[in-house]
Amino acid sequence: MGGDTLTPRSSSPEEESWLLDQDVSQSSSSLHLPYHPRKQEVETVNEECGFRFGGFEEEVGRRNISTNSLELEINQRNRCKAFKEVLQSYDQLQSRTESLKEAKSKILRPGEWIDKAGSMNLSDYNVPKTTTLLLVGSKGSGKSSLVNRISKVFDDDKFAPERAQVSYNYSAGEGTYFLREYMIPRGSSSICIYDTRSLSDDSSDNIAMLKNWITKGVRHGELLIRPSDNSSLRTRMKCKVRKNGSQSKEAKMVNFVIFVVNGIAVLKSMDSEDEGKKYTQMIATTFNCPYLSFKDDKPVVVITHGDLLSLSDRARVRVQLGELLGIPPAKQIFDIPESCDPVTELTIIDMLRYSLEHADKNLPHRHWLAEKVCRCRASLSPYIYVLIILGIAIISITIKHMHIRHASKSKPHVDWHAIRHLWLD
DSSP letters, 23-49, are ----------SS----HHHHHHHHHHH
Domain presence at residue 171: yes
* pLDDT at residue 176 is higher than 90: no
Average pLDDT, the chain: 78
Distance CA(281)–CA(275), nearest Å, equals 10
Residue type, 272: S
Strands 333-335 and 191-195: unpaired
pLDDT at 41: 52
Distance CA(291)–CA(216), nearest Å, equals 11
Dump pLDDT digits (tens) for 224-239: 888 888 888 888 887 8
Listed in sequence order, the residues at least 6 apart from 235 whose beta carbon sits closer than 8 Å to its beta carbon are: none
Mean of pLDDT values over 134-159? 90
pLDDT at 29: 37
* pLDDT at residue 23 is higher than 50: no
* pLDDT at residue 48 is higher than 90: no
pLDDT at 291: 94
pLDDT at 28: 36
* pLDDT at residue 216 is higher than 80: yes
* pLDDT at residue 31 is higher than 90: no
Dump pLDDT digits (tens) for 60-108: 455 555 677 888 888 888 899 999 999 999 999 999 999 998 998 888 7
* pLDDT at residue 399 is higher than 70: yes
The larger pLDDT score, comparing residue 14 to residue 384, is at: 384
* pLDDT at residue 36 is higher than 70: no
pLDDT at 244: 60
pLDDT at 320: 94
Bridge partners (DSSP) of residue 133 are 193, 256
Distance CA(198)–CA(175), nearest Å, equals 8
* pLDDT at residue 323 is higher than 50: yes
Q: How confident is the model at residue 358 (pLDDT cuts 50, 70, 90)?
A: very high
Number of domains forming the structure of the chain: 1
Domain presence at residue 120: yes
Dump pLDDT digits (tens) for 277-292: 889 999 999 999 999 9
Domain presence at residue 214: yes
pTM: 0.73
The larger pLDDT score, comparing residue 11 to residue 196, is at: 196
Range name among 111-115, 117-121, 303-307, 359-363 with the lowest pLDDT average: 117-121
Positive or negative torsion for Cα 368, 351, 141, 261: positive
**Domain residues for 246?**
84-367
Mean of pLDDT values over 357-377? 69
Distance CA(375)–CA(380), nearest Å, equals 9
Mean of pLDDT values over 255-270? 94
* pLDDT at residue 140 is higher than 60: yes
Distance CA(148)–CA(184), nearest Å, equals 10
pLDDT at 40: 52
Bridge partners (DSSP) of residue 180 are 195
Mean of pLDDT values over 337-362? 92
Q: Are 359 and 256 in contact (CB under 8 A)?
A: yes
Distance CA(269)–CA(138), nearest Å, equals 14
Question: Among candidates 335, 265, 331, which has minimal Cα distance to 304?
Answer: 335
Mean of pLDDT values over 211-231? 89
Q: Are 319 and 85 in contact (CB under 8 A)?
A: no
Which CATH number is 183's domain given?
3.40.50.300
Domain presence at residue 69: no
Number of H helices, E strands in the chain: 15, 6
Mean of pLDDT values over 157-183? 78
Distance CA(44)–CA(374), nearest Å, equals 62
Mean of pLDDT values over 198-210? 90
Domain presence at residue 399: no
